[in-house]
Structure 1
Amino acid sequence: MTNIILDTDSYKHSHYLQYPPETTIVNSYVESRGGKHESVLFFGLQAWLKKLLANPITQADIDDAAWVCHEHGISFNRAGWQHILDKHDGYLPLEIEAVPEGTIVPISNVLVQVRNTDPACYWLSSFVETSLLRGVWYPTTVATISYHAKQSILEALEESSDELAEPVAQFMLHDFGARGVSSEESAALGGLAHLVNFRGTDTMNALLAARTYYQEPMAAFSVPASEHSTMTSWGEDREADAYSNMLKQFKGSNIISIVADSYDIFRAVNDIFGGELKDQVLENAEAGSRLVVRPDSGDPIENPIAVIKALMEQFGSSTNSKGYKVLPDHVRVLQGDGITPDTIKKILSRMLEEGLSAENIVFGMGSGLLQQVTRDTQHFAMKCSAVKVNGNWQDVFKNPITDKGKASKRGVLALVKTEEGYETRQAESAEENALRTVYRNGEMLVEDTLEQIRHRSMTYKA
């Protein structure tokens, strides 16, 4: 399903008949109008460009779209699409500008701007709205959620750990979201958006997307880990054997992650890991393996803290220079149930209250990361802001009296970096423009690597 002529809303096919006569250029833009966070981490446009605009439309695409639209009962601009095929070899005559991916931009600022380059295709800029907006809002929203979760983690580490915060933080939020999303593409793009900020994932689709769209051979890492089926298949009376087998099979692995709440998490910690299997855990530690205990049920805030304390009773702890207790390096806790950016912040806050360093825990987040988002999480929209009619530019805008939050911007826009941050202005009054042209008439003019985008996200602060 890569025919961009059909990757739109039905009503878009009639819009070429609705613009003022003598319209030659339509200029539209994308922004986050507001939402949960006051700034967004822009990401995902390059993947959309490579998937949909790097390949030309074909005669078969036009013929298929014509048939679908006819049977669907809507208009079809066959002459317009045939013009694109015949004159532009099927490549869309558009110019797309965007802020560099990985940039953190305050809400209510232009992120992407698109306009047609062929006057005969004035209708094309807004035609791609459905596909373009979807290609931007979802990965940007996931990247933004992940980014702000990372800020909470970094703050807690800086207060409570002697370790350098950034290297530790990169592995403290693991993506468990692949099974909780609506499609393989959502797993790939959402999982990839998370990897702008972190380097741990179980969403393998994200690794393939990073390689395909952002020149990253291996974007993230994972570890041997158990699930309830592999542990409970041994039976409750052989729970210790199940854990012992994990320690034996993966001895020497940097991390061995064991879910331990199938029956009694505290019996597992106190009597099995800290009792019957303690010598084996210590032997594994000498071989370079860290045991990560997963309490995957119960209160997602208080339960992992209780497990950390129980592990400290069995394996000891030290107090770092900042006055916080730290487990031995070979034991940690992973909380992967009920995790959202809000619960991460609450857990870390409670840990600091209890005098526990943030480095004692790592998190796994599933649907809260990749699925529990909508276009309205950050109020994304794409609107027309200017048209050229009879050779003259005209501002275009909406300003509904019933909802001033939906007022749109006017004119051809620029994004300007000031001492206070980013600010959107009309292009004619901007000396510099942070928007850069990334696509023109079938050619990608900018191609970033994931590593460049990761670096940018740590450099540009709103």
Structure 2
Amino acid sequence: MQIDNPILNTDGYKFSHFLQYPPETTAVSAYIETRGSSDLTDVVFFGLQAFLLSHMMRRVTRADVEEAEAVVTAQGQPFDKAGWMHIVERHNGILPLEIWALPEGTRVRRGVPMVQVVNTDPACFWLPGFIETALLRAIWYPSTVASHGRRVKQALRPYYEKTCDNAETVLRQAVHDFGARGVASFEQAGLGGAAHLIHFDRTDTMTGILFAQRYYAAELSNLSYPASEHSTMIAWGGDHEADAYRNMIDRFGSGTYSVVSDSFDINFAISEIWGKQLKDKVRAAGGRLIIRPDSGDPIENPTHAVRQLDYHFGSRQNGKGYKLLDDCVRVLQGDGISLSDIGLVLSRLEAFGFSAENVMFGLGGSLLQKLNRDTFSFAMKANARKDASGRWHELFKRPATMSLKASKAGRQAVVESFNGLEAVRLEDLGARQNRMRLVWRDGQLHAPVTFAEVRQRAS
């Protein structure tokens, strides 16, 4: 059994669709958008190239066809063996598809098409609908993470611009991805982790770095630093907590390092161990200690930790008039914190006269997992059908009971307008430039994008 059999990477009911189209259908066009309407450019398109390079280059083989036939017919579905063997023999196993898309990293409003796909072989008119499951899944998840990351960044930006000297640089380091263990699969960690890195420069999701490098030629470095966890700290025992911290300074103290300090009593750890016993050692090491007060109240704990460190290590006033802790110490809250919690922490710090630069945040499940396809209402819909004479017929749906699910009629293009990017019918494009461009045709990647380009567009 080939678990990556591309024929089986779809919904079971789709195997009957080759029998359901009107006679003499030779092509079907379909597009992907986020449903609804909005004046906000709040959706960041990302993830298509990773799918094209990781899945669409996988050739369908005769063994795949035979295996799929056995699996599909056993489930009571018809199987188009002739159609799939045509792909194997005529196209050497490459799916005959043409895909147009906006450049990745583009920000769009709801209702603006991001991707449009059509078959290039008349015998495979059923193929655009068949790949909906895999293609839509490949796009909605990383695009949603990228869009959510932009929302987080935009929500935090006012605090950093008001209280930090180098607001953009500090903001890019403010949110650390701790989400690898909180997702459902290796691939999800890779796609979501890469999407996070569009907006932020801190991660421990190594798979995200790997995906960004492999599929987008990313040049990434200095995204993490040595950090402890409870197991490595409690291994020393409660009576030797200070020794555990002292070892961290000896091993990593010349650079940036993070030490979880709430295994027993966070207030004692900061005021007595870090603030008295090890204060001179921390300073003499020359690096930066990041203290993590993870457990407990995610709003009160980091705020109190900053104030405690100010008392013991001191602070200076930055160019915006806010207090900045001694360069050798910072705080990171990495457990149980939400976007609203982060806003409350930064508001409290500002009220106490502290810069947002004093604290960072680690997010896990809320960053990569607590979202779904309906977060932005992603959908893929057929919009045109070509008959044997070469004429295109508009396809659309208009549910009388739910206007939100109405779809666009006719093949689409995307143009720049006074209000930003908007959809137009392809036949109405005229002399205007179509912002969607050819990215894939019959196994060939066109107009590849780099991660640096994606980041630049999204910013």
Q: Give TM-score scaled by structure 1 length.
A: 0.94
Q: Which of 41, 50, 61 is the equivalent residue of 2:44?
A: 41
SS in 2 for 1:23: coil
Instruction: Establish whether residue 444 from structure 1 lines up as the match of residue 445 from structure 2.
Output: yes
Residue of structure 2 equivalent to 1:247: 249
Residue of structure 2 equivalent to 1:418: 417
Note the aligned Cα RMSD (angstroms).
1.7
> 1:249-291 deviations in whole A, cap 9, x for unaligned?
11212x110111112111111111111111111112xx3x101
Distance in structure 1 (CA, Å) of the matches to 2:11 and 2:240: 57
239-248 or 165-174, larger mean C-alpha shift: 165-174
Counterpart amino acid of residue 49 in structure 1: L
388-397 or 195-204, larger mean C-alpha shift: 388-397
Instruction: Establish whether residue 282 from structure 1 lines up as the match of residue 283 from structure 2.
Output: yes
Distance in structure 1 (CA, Å) of the matches to 2:368 and 2:98: 30
Distance in structure 2 (CA, Å) of the matches to 1:220 and 1:380: 34
Q: Which of 59, 62, 80 is the equivalent residue of 1:59?
A: 62
Residue of structure 2 equivalent to 1:98: 101
Alignment of 1:179-198 (within 5 A): 179-198=181-200
Distance in structure 1 (CA, Å) of the matches to 2:295 and 2:41: 32
Residue of structure 2 equivalent to 1:333: 331
Contact 1:317 1:326 in 2 (8 A): yes
Contact 1:207 1:219 in 2 (8 A): no
Distance in structure 2 (CA, Å) of the matches to 1:426 and 1:200: 41
SS in 2 for 1:437: strand
> 1:130-182 deviations in whole A, cap 9, x for unaligned?
0000100011111111122122333321111112x222222211110111111
Distance in structure 2 (CA, Å) of the matches to 1:25 and 1:403: 28
48-57 or 340-349, larger mean C-alpha shift: 340-349
Structure 1 residue 354, shift from structure 2 partner: 2.9
Counterpart amino acid of residue 373 in structure 1: L
> 1:340-382 deviations in whole A, cap 9, x for unaligned?
3333333223322332211111111101111111111111111
Counterpart amino acid of residue 299 in structure 1: D
Structure 1 residue 339, shift from structure 2 partner: 2.6
Counterpart amino acid of residue 263 in structure 1: F
Contact 2:253 2:288 in 1 (8 A): no
Structure 1 residue 34, shift from structure 2 partner: 4.9
SS in 2 for 1:55: coil
Alignment of 1:296-335 (within 5 A): 296-335=294-333
Counterpart amino acid of residue 174 in structure 2: M
Residue of structure 1 equivalent to 2:26: 24
Contact 1:148 1:341 in 2 (8 A): no
> 1:105-147 deviations in whole A, cap 9, x for unaligned?
1122101111111111110011000000010001111111112
Distance in structure 2 (CA, Å) of the matches to 1:381 and 1:7: 18
Contact 2:253 2:282 in 1 (8 A): no
- Using the aligned pairs only, state the percent identity: 50
Structure 1 residue 449, shift from structure 2 partner: 1.4
> 1:389-410 deviations in whole A, cap 9, x for unaligned?
3432222111212222111111
Counterpart amino acid of residue 224 in structure 1: P
Q: Which runs of 5+ in 1 are unaligned?
A: none
Q: Which runs of 5+ in 2 are unaligned?
A: none
Alignment of 1:195-234 (within 5 A): 195-218=197-220, 221-234=223-236
Distance in structure 2 (CA, Å) of the matches to 1:245 and 1:457: 41
Q: Which of 341, 344, 347 is the equivalent residue of 1:346?
A: 344
Residue of structure 2 equivalent to 1:371: 369
